[in-house]
Structure 1
Amino acid sequence: MSSASTTALVRRPFEGIPAERDLVAMRQLIPAATMTAATTAEHGSVPVTIATILPMAWPAIRRSDGSVIIGLQATVPGGDLSRAFGQAIVQALAVEPGTPVPTLELTADSPRLQDVLDLTGDFPITVHETFDFWVDPGAERTEEVEHSLEHANESISPTKPVAGLEHAYWVDAGPKEHVRWVLDADEDRVYDAVARLHARRESAIAEDTRYVGSFRAEGMTVPVWDLPSGFGAEGAEAVAAEFRERFLAALESTEPLTALERRARGGIVARQVTLR
């Protein structure tokens, strides 16, 4: 499935992959996470680890056991992330085990992830507290490696998935905590849903929390809520089921907005800022 151009922007690059929303979260929200996958039989049925980021922000590494690990937060060429990381896997398979792929040789014939990965897998995601997954199991953990890991681990903001709110992630960003929820929904529909809830004073996840805005990422909409310090992932999980039901009901509503809801929506859009 090649395209005529490597520069054409693909706004929803991971569409068709079962784990699309978690891949977006790994690209945009989560500091340290891995996902298990494998290539198709055509590409050798090789185990693939999809990671958030790799040492030196490399796009990929061929590990000593022959498996491949790619880093979704790498800066890659072209307008299609899926094609860039499909190419990263192909290049990794072509090098000797234990070798990184520092640059990509992207062409119009480069395959996309949807072409390279076996899409029948479960794509389980694991959020990590450290970058220990960087270490090749077959490589020696030297003092230099340990020092590099220690330095990288210091940069990680504590992040956890919110049980009961699928594809949502809690993060402790220092002065504030947030819940960021990756939704497969048009941004206008999300605004409408928040407006419906805000008009009823129900747009917060829980008491002392508040909706602060949303942003677009790889074709998904990501609304963000501020939480008070100390709220924790556990606090979000305690109200997740009730909030999810309330929010999705508002999101799925097709009723025209009332006058009060339209005023609420206008205020939400007027205050909207670019969030990350």
Structure 2
Amino acid sequence: MGRRQRHNEPKSGGNRQAKIAARAAEREELSTQPRPFAGFAGECDMVAMREFVPSATARLTTSTQKRDITLATVLPGAIAGLVRDDELGGEAMVGLQVQVHGPDPAADLAYAVDWASRAGGGETLTTAHTDESTPALEDVVVKDAPLEIVVHGDFSWWLAEGAQVRPEIAQAIKNADEVMMPSARVAADGIEAAWWVDAGEKAHVRWVRPEDEDALFEALARVHSAGGLHLGEGSRFAGSFRTHGVLVPVFDLDPEMHHQEWAPGLLELDARLGEALAKDGPLSSDERASRDGLRARQVTLR
């Protein structure tokens, strides 16, 4: 187990105690708020990276800019954070898919980012240990900064250039590579967090959407009733799931097609959903029937 930087006890002082009390109240509210990354420019991709993207990284824009910090889907051993040895560049990294997590993913990430900004070369953070003194995520990460995501075809980025590879690390990378399904982020102007995966017999697009869940679900029902809930020939709507307070429509796809071939279909569907979201008034009887059918194929991850 790696070393974890010891967390200092809160110091006395009126202003500090007031801030701690306010933050505790905010965290209590967040514990009942299912949308932990709301308000962040990269919210939908952060949700995707935490829930189902196998291997991707993005550079975080931190409030202090003391050092560059890389956000990763998962780190070796599913730990919360690490800082590479100084002679290997000293890169700081934090993971979203962790072995042990608390009830608030934003608080876990904030703890890891705060730790990574101060930790020394060669240190690791096995688990986030949040408390009232843990900063809010918006205090350590700039909310409106976009995420420039790099998708990796394997886990070789776990190793710093020039690092000596121990046999157990090489085996861990090999094991992770073997179970990873090919994934990609579909790139299209105005399309956020549409993630393609090759699952073998089928491919899928999981599209994390930022709209209010209920409003988006009604829009999906309107589009479905009109026969437009698809990405074009070779695709079909498979269902949806809720996670972290957002809705994720899922489409089954022809696995022979390249992931970027679905970009036009995503743009067309996005336009149809936009029109449906702009409509006022109750659903028609056909749209209500579509909504009931869609709800029957919906699950909640968390």
Q: In structure 1, what is the equivalent of residue 187 of structure 2? A: 163
The structural deviation recorded for 1:54 is 0.4
CA gap of 1:186–1:74, structure 2 versus 1, over 3 A, is same
Alignment match of 1:104 (pick from 109, 118, 128):
128
The 8 Å contact of residues 110 and 136 in structure 2, kept in 1 or not, is answered as yes
Q: In structure 1, what is the equivalent of residue 176 of structure 2? A: 152
The structural deviation recorded for 1:93 is 3.9
The structural deviation recorded for 1:76 is 4.0
The structural deviation recorded for 1:185 is 1.7
The 8 Å contact of residues 69 and 116 in structure 2, kept in 1 or not, is answered as no
Where structure 2 has 5 or more consecutive residues not aligned to the other structure, the ranges are: 1-18
* 1:44-55 correspondence runs (5 A): 45-55=66-76
Question: 1:121, 1:271 → 2: CA distance?
Answer: 35
Q: In structure 2, what is the equivalent of residue 11 of structure 1? A: 34
Report Cα offsets for 1:64-86 as digits up to 9, x if no partner. Answer: 23432011011444322111111
Question: 1:250, 1:231 → 2: CA distance?
Answer: 28
1:56 aligns with 2:82: no
Where structure 1 has 5 or more consecutive residues not aligned to the other structure, the ranges are: none
Question: 2:165, 2:112 → 1: CA distance?
Answer: 25
Question: 1:255, 1:120 → 2: CA distance?
Answer: 33
CA gap of 1:118–1:195, structure 2 versus 1, over 3 A, is closer
Aligned partner of 1:265: which letter?
Answer: R
* 1:214-229 correspondence runs (5 A): 214-229=240-255
Aligned partner of 1:11: which letter?
Answer: P
The structural deviation recorded for 1:107 is 1.1
CA gap of 1:69–1:222, structure 2 versus 1, over 3 A, is same
Bigger Cα displacement from structure 2, 231-240 vs 205-214: 231-240
CA gap of 1:271–1:113, structure 2 versus 1, over 3 A, is closer
1:246 aligns with 2:275: no
1:71 aligns with 2:92: no
Q: In structure 1, what is the equivalent of residue 3 of structure 2? A: none
Bigger Cα displacement from structure 2, 49-58 vs 251-260: 251-260
SS in 2 for 1:50: strand
Q: In structure 2, what is the equivalent of residue 36 of structure 1? A: 59
SS in 2 for 1:213: strand
- Number of residue pairs the alignment of both structures matches: 274
The structural deviation recorded for 1:143 is 4.3
1:20 aligns with 2:46: no
Q: In structure 2, what is the equivalent of residue 234 of structure 1? A: 260
SS in 1 for 2:24: coil
TM-score, normalised to structure 2, is: 0.82
The structural deviation recorded for 1:63 is 1.9
- Tell me the percent identity: 36
CA RMSD of aligned residues (A): 2.4
The 8 Å contact of residues 31 and 159 in structure 1, kept in 2 or not, is answered as yes
TM-score, normalised to structure 1, is: 0.89
